[in-house]
């Protein structure tokens, strides 16, 4: 029985050390990613934005789609269909709903695949705050026009990333 307790204690210590390393790596990754995002968006360096886009597409977005987006008031999931492939896609974005309008800041600009897919289809579905909304009447507008509709947290994110445009969507109801 004593050997079993020692074995459990040893395993617990090893697990705690591993957990500490994982948390440390996540924190460092977040710091580096935030610094890269700020530099890429502010400098509008195409190579940095391409690197960041690829990283988010293959690393960050799958995690966001699986665990976080669509459940909070600012992390949304946009469901859209590929304009050439016809494949269904889900993309995590920052968004805010104000009555029948959903605002999505566009820190990567207006030439992103998910936006082109939505524009080609003319509609899509946005999951935000635990609810799904069918959206249409897509309008890309200067971000300054929608700033009054955004909460202070989203305004800070928009300013931090030096975002120029936003997508304004009309929410027609539950999907």
Q: What CATH architecture is 69-174?
A: Roll (2.30)
**Structure tokens belonging to residue 47:** 């190579």
User: Three-state SS for 28?
Assistant: helix
pLDDT at 117 over 80: yes
DSSP percent split of the chain into helix, strand, coil, nearest 5: 50, 30, 20
Which range among 25-29, 42-46, 118-122, 134-138 shows the weakest confidence by mean pLDDT?
25-29
CA dist 107 and 134 (Å) reads 23
11-to-6, 22, 24, 25 alpha-carbon distances in Å: 9, 16, 20, 21
pLDDT at 167: 95
pLDDT bracket for residue 70 (50, 70, 90): low
At 171, give phi and psi (nearest 5°).
-90, 115
Decide: pTM greater than 0.95.
no
Listing DSSP states for 1-25 in one string gives -HHHHHHHHHHHHHHHHHHHHHHHH
With both helix axes pointing from N to C terminus, report the angle between 46-55 and 2-43 in degrees, rounded to the nearest 10. Answer: 150
Measured between alpha carbons, how far apart are the two ends of the chain, in Å?
A: 57
Residues 167 and 130 sit within 8 Å (Cβ to Cβ) = no
DSSP secondary structure code for residue 111 in this structure: -
């Amino acid at each position: 029985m004593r050997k079993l307790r020692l074995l459990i204690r040893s395993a617990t210590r090893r697990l705690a050390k591993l957990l500490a390393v994982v948390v440390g790596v996540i924190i460092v990754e977040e710091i580096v990613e935030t610094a890269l995002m700020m530099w890429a968006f502010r400098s509008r360096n195409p190579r940095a934005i391409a690197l960041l886009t690829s990283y988010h597409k293959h690393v960050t977005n799958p995690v966001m789609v699986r665990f976080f987006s669509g459940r909070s008031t600012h992390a949304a999931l946009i469901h859209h269909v590929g304009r050439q492939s016809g494949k269904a896609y889900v993309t995590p974005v920052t968004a805010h709903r104000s009555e029948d309008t959903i605002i999505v800041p566009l820190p990567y600009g207006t030439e992103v695949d998910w936006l082109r897919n939505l524009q080609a289809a003319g509609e899509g579905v946005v999951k935000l705050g635990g609810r799904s909304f069918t959206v249409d009447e897509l309008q890309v507008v200067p971000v300054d026009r929608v700033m009054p509709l955004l909460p202070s947290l989203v305004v800070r994110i928009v300013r931090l990333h030096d975002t120029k445009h936003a997508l304004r969507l009309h929410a027609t109801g539950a999907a």
